[in-house]
Amino acid sequence: MTTFEPKRLEPTDSRYPEPMRNLFGALATPDIWYLGNLNLLRTKGVGFCGSRHASKAGLAVAADCATQLSQYSITVVSGYAAGVDMASHEAALANGGNTIIVLPEGIDHFRIKKAIKQVWDWQSVLVISYFPRPAVWRPDRAMERNKVIVALSRAVLVLEAGDRGGTLNAGFTALEMEKPLFVAYFEQMIDGRRGNRQLIEHGGIPLQRSNKSGHAELRHMLELMGSDEPPPAERLSA
């Protein structure tokens, strides 16, 4: 059972997220089912995308970025899979930030996962799904869900993408939607990181580590999102 009864957000509601209205072409704009703090839709968000089988280095970069962005009240927007999704949500909540979980299935299937239960706070979380409440997970729904993550985000961050699959597709979707796309840059971009190279070659902005702090360098992302403060890497390394 979910913590409480999901609520319906209809397209006629003024709170319905405007970026989602253009995603469905000639199809009717769907209702959204949600749990948690709907006000998070009005915050600035960064979409986190990456493999459920990400490396330790990839997960560390995801957690680092989520932690830094949380200090600027920037919301993490991601799915709910193992790997990058969960690392990003957990780091945001553990550091006083907010997070939006976009489901690839109906909201009746949602449960708070054990890995994140200790840091869970319904005031800091919004869970949404535009699929019918009983809809089960399917690969095509996971792919479509990624479009919503991109649409709800001011910028998108790809941590580790293979040469095919949902993460790579989400990166290209961000480029098509003309959202700033940041792609984690690694010295070795092989195997599960081949997609990172592709996205950078097509216009993704390489996200590198600061030599001074050892943390991901988010200055450019913060500037694009309207922050005139320097990134908090110095505070994090104290």
Domain of 124, CATH number, reads 3.40.50.450
Q: Secondary structure of the chain: what % helix, strand, coil (to 5)?
A: 40, 15, 45
Q: Which residues of 87-120 are buried (b: 16+ CB within 10 A; e: fewer)?
A: bbbbbbbebebbbbbbbbbbbbbbeeeeebeebb
Domain that includes residue 46, residue range: 30-236
Sheet holding 45-49, edge to edge: 7-9, 32-36, 125-129, 99-102, 75-78, 45-49, 155-158, 181-184, 205-207
Predicted pLDDT at 183? 96
Does any domain span residue 43?
yes
12: pLDDT strictly greater than 70:
yes
Structural domains in the chain (count):
1
Residues 160-177: tens digit of each pLDDT = 998 888 999 999 999 999
Q: Does the residue 8 lie in any domain?
A: no
β-strand pairing of 155-158 with 181-184:
parallel
Q: Are 213 and 183 in contact (CB under 8 A)?
A: no
Q: What is the pTM of this model?
A: 0.92
In a domain, 211, yes or no: yes
Confirm whether 22 is domain-assigned.
no
Q: How confident is the model at residue 228 (pLDDT cuts 50, 70, 90)?
A: low
Q: Within a domain: residue 113?
A: yes
Identify any residues that bridge with 206 across adjacent strands, giving them in sequence order: 183
Lowest mean pLDDT among 124-133, 154-163, 219-228: 219-228
> Is 148 among the domain residues?
yes
